[in-house]
Structures are given as structure tokens and as C-alpha cells.
Structure 1
Amino acid sequence: MDPADALAELLSPSGRVNPYPVYELLRAHGPVTSAGPVFFVATGYEEVDAILRDPRFGVLDDALRDQFLPGWRESPAVLSISRSMLRTNPPDHSRMRRLAAGAFTPRRIAAMRDVVVAQADELIDGMLARGRDGDPVDFMDDFAYPLPVGVICALLGVPTADRGLFRRWAGELTGVLEPEISPAELAMADRGATELRDYFTELVAARRRTPTDDLTSALVQAHETGGARLSGDELLANLVVLLVAGFETTTNLLGNGLVVLLQHPREAAALREHPEFAPGYVDELLRYDSPVQLTSRLSTESSRHGGVDLPAGSWLMLSLGAANRDPRRYPEPERFDPWRPQIHPLSFGAGPHYCLGAGLARLEAQVAFPQLLRRLPGLALAGEPERRVRLTLRGYATLPVTVGDPAPEPDRGTPAGAARATP
């Protein structure tokens, strides 16, 4: 299959649900391959990593949007994403990122461990109550969504009562991150973006009247200093992106990871007995079934990667999911193996756009999986999980499980000082 046909297959509903066989069709043409005029696809680990770090490549800018998506400024979803750090290049990207980075330092993330442990325990208690008669519960609804949304909302200062609002809004908005989007999907994304923007407009007004010790107040203060540090549009756009990115990726990581663990009982049993192995497990889960499969870059200068000349103005689809399964980097990449040496998945990107909340997502998963396995030793799949028909953000729409009998003496979390260990 030639690259253009393979790309079309990747974008089909079946390709979105299971992209890994299609990645191998693309990989057969080399780690970087042309799929159209000045359009390239990168599937190699070394090549994707290098391009993400190469200053000659940037994210989609306004000029390119004007060329390929006329009228994009009329779309609240596209406009909102474009004004955030997700879709800006230096120096604007660097300025915005610095303002939010203080909430995601290693020390602050480590200090949140007890909060994450407590929230995970509370959610497991709820799963036990709802599934005590053997009835299935939806892991996505009952754990994978509420855990990370609770954590990011606490950082942003979003009231507890409002946290249930965001799942639909975010699910609609993130449609604009897909490689292709239909007019109907764009209309839904615009609706979600509008509702999120309206919500944060009210929250910003509240924090302007009464500042508190949260990230929203800090970003409002950055805007209040004459607008030189953060414009009004940037303030709202980055609050939306911080919220959505703060739970969407982790929700998918928790769902994808639980399925993998339940399908590998020997590895799950080892993690149940040794929660200190969690960091290595989480990195392998990120590699094996990445919650973020794609990103893209535009070349501003000519370069050469993977033996292919990339002219200035080239548009590259970077397949993080394929790179994480590059056999040149990971032998037997289709095998789940938390004992692999040197696991460094590209699931959170690399370079200047490396995910700001990667450490927080890892912490939540490192806490969640051992707690789930130890408190719910009979946890099992209950029927076939349903995938979302999305490619960029890979996850489950529903994930029915039975909880079984609880452990006689529940372990209330992983040790506070747990460090990465090799099983």
C-alpha cells in the first residue's frame, strides 16, 4: 500500500480505532515518508524525537490557517486553541508557558501525592458501592474521568460542584485536534469552546474580585499587569487548554492502561505486590498504547530527517504512537513489557512543546494503578470496551468492569517516597 493510501486508511473509522497495523504500512516506506506535495509522515522514534526538538520546525501558525482554513477566525474552537500555548511558537509560546509552569514544578507535583491518593481511594469506594452486587460499573465514568478532572480543577480553583460540566465540553472541543474534522464535528467543537470560554470568563471575573491561591488567580494577575504578560484572549485560551489537557490525556492513560493490565495478569500481579514498580509500568503503558497518537509540525527551513529532504514549508504529521513502537528503538514493540530498559515514550512530546502536565499525569497513574489492583483484586473486564473514534486522542468511550470482592485490608496508597524502580 502506498503512503497516500495508507494515510487514507489511517483516517478511516477503523484506522482511528486501531491505528497500529496502519502505522506498520507507513513504516515500510521508511521512518519519514512523503504522502503528498510537501506533506510527510514520520513514524521513526529517532526522527520524531529530533523533529520535535528541531528549532526549524514550529506548530501551525495564523498564516497557514489562513491558507488552508479560510474563515477559521469565525470558529470559536479553532480561535481558542490558536491563542493558547498549544498552538503558538516562540517567543509567545515561551512567555505563556513560563506563566503557568510554576504550578507544575516537580516539588509541587510531589506535594500533591496525598491529594491524589485520597481522591483515588474515594473513587474506589464509590466503585465498590455501585458494583457490590456484581453489577458492571463504567471505569471511564467512575474513575478515569473524575480523578484527573478533580486534580486539575483543584489546581485551577474550579469549584467541586462544577467539575461534572467539563467532560462533554472538552470532548467536543478536542475534535479540532483531529487530522480531519467534518462541518458537524466543527459545529460541536465550537459549541464546546463557547461554553468553556463562557465558564472561564465568569471564573476570571470572580478571581479578579477575590483572588485565591490557585493557578487561575495567578494567570489573572499576569493579565492585569497591563496585558503585556498575557492578553485577555490568551488568558481565556490557556485556561481552557490547561483544563482540557489536564484531564483528557490522563483519562485516556488510565482507561488504556487498565485494559492492558487486565489483559496481562502476571504483570498486574507483580504491580499489585510491588507498587514501587509503578513508574516503570506507567512509562511502558504510555509507550504501548499512547493516549496521544499524533502531533504535527511545519518546517520553516530546509532540513533532512530520516534520509528525506524536507523543504521549507513542509507539513509533517508526527506519529507518536508509531514512534513508540519503532522496532529500531524497542525490540518486539507490540509486546507489553514493563521490564524493558530505558523506556522513554514520546507520548508527551519532546522539545519546547513537551507537555507541561506530564509529571502530574504520571503521578496520577502511578498512584491509581497500584491502588486499583490492591484494593480491587477481583477487578475484571465486563464485556467489550468501546473505543472513541478518535485518532489524535486515543481512549475509550466506555469501559465496563466488575469490581469483585474488596481486599480484606485495603492499601491506602503507594508509599509517599516511591521512586522509579525496575521490576
Structure 2
Amino acid sequence: MDPLTAVTHADPYPYYASLRTRAGLAFDPASGLWLASSAETVAAVLAHPQCRVRPAHEPVPRAIAEGAAGQVFARLMRMNDGERQRCPRAAVEPALGQVHAEDLRQRVSALLPGLPSAASARLHDAQFLLPVAVVAGLLGFPDQPLPALAGLTADFVACLSPTSSPAQLAAAHGAAEQLAVRFAALLDQAPVSPLLQRIVSGFAGQPRDRLIANLIGLLSQAFEASAGLIGNSLCALLGDSRLRAQLRAAPERVDLLLAEVQRIDPPVQNTRRFVVAPCTLAGATLAPGDVVLVLLASANRDPQLNPQPDRLLLERPERRSFSFGSGRHQCPGQALALGIASAVVGALLPHTDLIGPNVGWTYKPSLNGRIPLFHTLPETRR
């Protein structure tokens, strides 16, 4: 196992624990990356001003720089530092914080009957499509184009992966163009969505293309990260019949499950930071061009951060986590993401055909995302 293949391993957490025995930053010659695995080191890297979200020489990945997906990527707040990150965040974060959990539950309940009846397809769409549809609905899109928007978002997120094929990247450019057109049309109407009104107001004085890019970013963030959070919560339930029974008897505790799963088995296992100036960090001397792999999932299980870190405790006191980042790049939609995932898992929980011994899973190939893909087990394996 290595720091990148660990992401989709059945149980990467003993390996992460072995990495934490090294003090400070550790250099991994095989990957050419510095590894930050302890809570203290991860916090230091995420807070350091010389550690940025993109390399100085390549603000947009070369593979998409010349197309529509690259233009959107260049304007995403999470792919920028400084003013291009702070200003959109200041507009988006307060707006997302005003979305109510009951609204999310109602939207999920309304969309759930439209999902496929087959168990594996139903779970897939509940993971990947429902969160995007909920966010799109909150932004003011009518119900009819929501599946199409989710499909375009699925195509667009391919541009965020370094493992995407040329065909996937071409589809991502096309999806970026279509999403931009649809958001432009939505903005040209009189805003009827309270969420969209708040975001537009917060973006006053900023370029319209930056607003549109970050609206696309909201959909893309709702896609794979939410799919991983929902999926890993379902895995926790599938692996523990007593936990399933407990939550079916007390479904109001599903929020506690999501809060703990995002810590113990996070959907985003690592992120990267790119050194832009000489600095000393966690006992290591770094040079411009060095890359730090920030192992968020490892830090979450550091006993210095959370006592009994390998136990899933719904009532964990003072739970601490890096799953949604930290500091200036902490995810502004954390509460929204947890609320949507909780609504989806809560809606699926009563269905024994979806959350029961007849369901298995593998993990989607990825270098940083831990996203289970579910399938129905053959009769002989049940």
C-alpha cells in the first residue's frame, strides 16, 4: 500500500497509523511527495501561507487549460488563493448557512420516488444524483431539468481528476459550456430562489463569469464528495446490523452518524498543497515546487485529536475533523453537505433491500476520493 492507493483500500487506516509514527513531514521517494499524516502537521500545512492549492506555474491543469472546463476551473474559489478565493467565499458561505434542514428533507423526499427501482441503480442515483438535484433546486432550477443538470455535473467533474481520459475531458468541456449557459439563463430571470438571491447579492461588484463558475462549483461539490459521504455512511450501516437497528429505532440520530462518518471514514481522504516560497514546516525545509500530500483521513484518526479514534461513536464528545478542510480553505458548505447526506441516508434507512445483507460494494478508482459503488450480491454470497 502507498499513500495514493490507500484511498480505495478496504481498510487503509492501519497504514495511516503507521505513517503517523514518523515525526513531522516525511518525504516519500516513490511518489516524490511530502506526507503530512498527523493532526499537528496537517493543521500546520493547511494554515501555512506558502502552501497553496495550486502550483504557481500551473494555476489550471494543462490538460484542460484551453477549454471551457479550464475557464471554470480557473475561477473556482476552492482552486484559488487570495482575493479570488476570499471574495466568492464571503458571498457563498453566509448564503449556504441559511438553508434549513427541513427544506433539505422535503426536497429529498420529493425526489426519491423518481429514482430507479433496482437496488444498485437506486443507491447509485441516491448517492450521486440526489445531492446535485437538491442543490440545483435550491438555486431555483425547476424540477424538470434536474436529472439533466446532474448528468452535466457528472461530466464536468471529470476535469478535476488527473486520471480522466481524453474523451472524458472533452465531455467535461461540453458540460462546462452547457452549465454556464443554463446558469446564465437562470440569472437573467427574476430570481425566485432565496439562496440564489443571497449569493447574487454577495457577488455584487464581482465579474459575472466568476459568479457562474462558482455556481457550477456548488453543483460539482455536491456530486462526488456527497456521494462519498452518503456511501461511506451506508457502508457503516451495512457493516453493523446493531447500528442499523439502533438508527431504525431512532432515525433522528442519523445526523450523529453522518457527523461521525465524515471523521472516521471521510469521502475526501487527502488533498495537496504546493509550496510557492522557501519555508520550514514541521521540521522539514521545503523549496518552491515541493508538493505536500495532506492526509486528512489519517489526521482524523490521530489519538491526539480524537480519543479512541478507531471507534465509531455517535455521541463522541468534542469531535474534531479535517474532512472539510481547515482555515482559509475550510469548506463553506459543510453544514449543507451534512444536511443533504443526512436527509438521503435517513430516507434510505427504512428500506431493507437497500441497506441489508444483500448489498456489497467496491470503491471508485480515485487518488483522493473514497467513494463506494454498491452492487447486489449473488444469492450464494448472501
TM-score (norm. length: structure 2)? 0.83
Aligned pairs for 1:72-111 within 5 A: 73-105=65-97, 108-109=98-99
Q: Which deviations, in whole Å up to 9, do the C-alpha atoms of 1:150-183 show, x marking residues without a partner?
A: 32012222221222124443334334444x435x
How many angstroms apart in 2 are the aligned matches of 1:394 and 1:356?
21
Q: Is the 8 A contact 1:104 1:360 kept in 2?
A: yes
Secondary structure at the aligned position of 1:64 is classed as: coil
How many angstroms apart in 2 are the aligned matches of 1:191 and 1:377?
37
- The partner residue of 2:333 within 340, 351, 357 is 357
Q: Is the 8 A contact 2:133 2:147 kept in 1?
A: no
How many angstroms apart in 2 are the aligned matches of 1:90 and 1:201?
28
Query: Structure 1 residue 292: deviation in Å?
Result: 1.2
- Matched residue, 2:26: 33
- Matched residue, 2:216: 240
Return the letter of the residue paired with 2:192.
T
Tell me whether 140-149 or 42-51 shows the greater mean CA deviation.
140-149
Query: Structure 1 residue 15: deviation in Å?
Result: 5.6
How many angstroms apart in 2 are the aligned matches of 1:187 and 1:304?
41
- The partner residue of 2:105 within 104, 117, 124 is 117
Q: Does 1:65 align with 2:72?
A: no
The 1:138/1:238 distance shift into structure 2, 3 A limit, reads same
The 1:71/1:249 distance shift into structure 2, 3 A limit, reads closer
Return the letter of the residue paired with 2:236.
V
The 1:281/1:211 distance shift into structure 2, 3 A limit, reads closer
The 1:122/1:211 distance shift into structure 2, 3 A limit, reads closer
Aligned pairs for 1:253-268 within 5 A: 253-268=229-244
The 1:344/1:177 distance shift into structure 2, 3 A limit, reads farther
- Matched residue, 1:376: 351
Query: Structure 1 residue 75: deviation in Å?
Result: 4.1
Q: Does 1:194 align with 2:174?
A: yes
Secondary structure at the aligned position of 1:160 is classed as: coil
How many angstroms apart in 2 are the aligned matches of 1:381 and 1:78?
43
How many angstroms apart in 1 are the aligned matches of 2:3 and 2:33?
15
- The partner residue of 1:50 within 44, 48, 59 is 44
Return the letter of the residue paired with 2:43.
D
Aligned pairs for 1:141-290 within 5 A: 141-178=124-161, 180-181=162-163, 184=165, 186-216=166-196, 229-290=205-266
How many angstroms apart in 2 are the aligned matches of 1:381 and 1:31?
42
Query: Structure 1 residue 348: deviation in Å?
Result: 0.8
Query: Structure 1 residue 188: deviation in Å?
Result: 0.9
Q: Is the 8 A contact 2:269 2:369 kept in 1?
A: yes
Percent of residue pairs identical:
26
Q: Which deviations, in whole Å up to 9, do the C-alpha atoms of 1:22-72 show, x marking residues without a partner?
A: 5345445445211259841211122212322333422215x3217x95575
Q: Is the 8 A contact 1:278 1:370 kept in 2?
A: yes
How many angstroms apart in 1 are the aligned matches of 2:282 and 2:85?
27
Secondary structure at the aligned position of 1:398 is classed as: strand
The 1:357/1:177 distance shift into structure 2, 3 A limit, reads same
Gaps of 5+ in 1: 1-5, 403-423
Q: Which deviations, in whole Å up to 9, do the C-alpha atoms of 1:231-282 show, x marking residues without a partner?
A: 2432332121111113432222111101111212222333333344334322
Task: State the Cα RMSD in Å.
Answer: 3.3
How many angstroms apart in 2 are the aligned matches of 1:200 and 1:239?
9
The 1:181/1:30 distance shift into structure 2, 3 A limit, reads farther
- Matched residue, 1:409: none
Return the letter of the residue paired with 2:101.
R
The 1:94/1:342 distance shift into structure 2, 3 A limit, reads same
How many angstroms apart in 1 are the aligned matches of 2:53 and 2:119?
43
Q: Is the 8 A contact 2:159 2:172 kept in 1?
A: no
How many angstroms apart in 1 are the aligned matches of 2:180 and 2:64?
22
Q: Which deviations, in whole Å up to 9, do the C-alpha atoms of 1:69-112 show, x marking residues without a partner?
A: 5575214334422211011111221111122223212xx22xx3
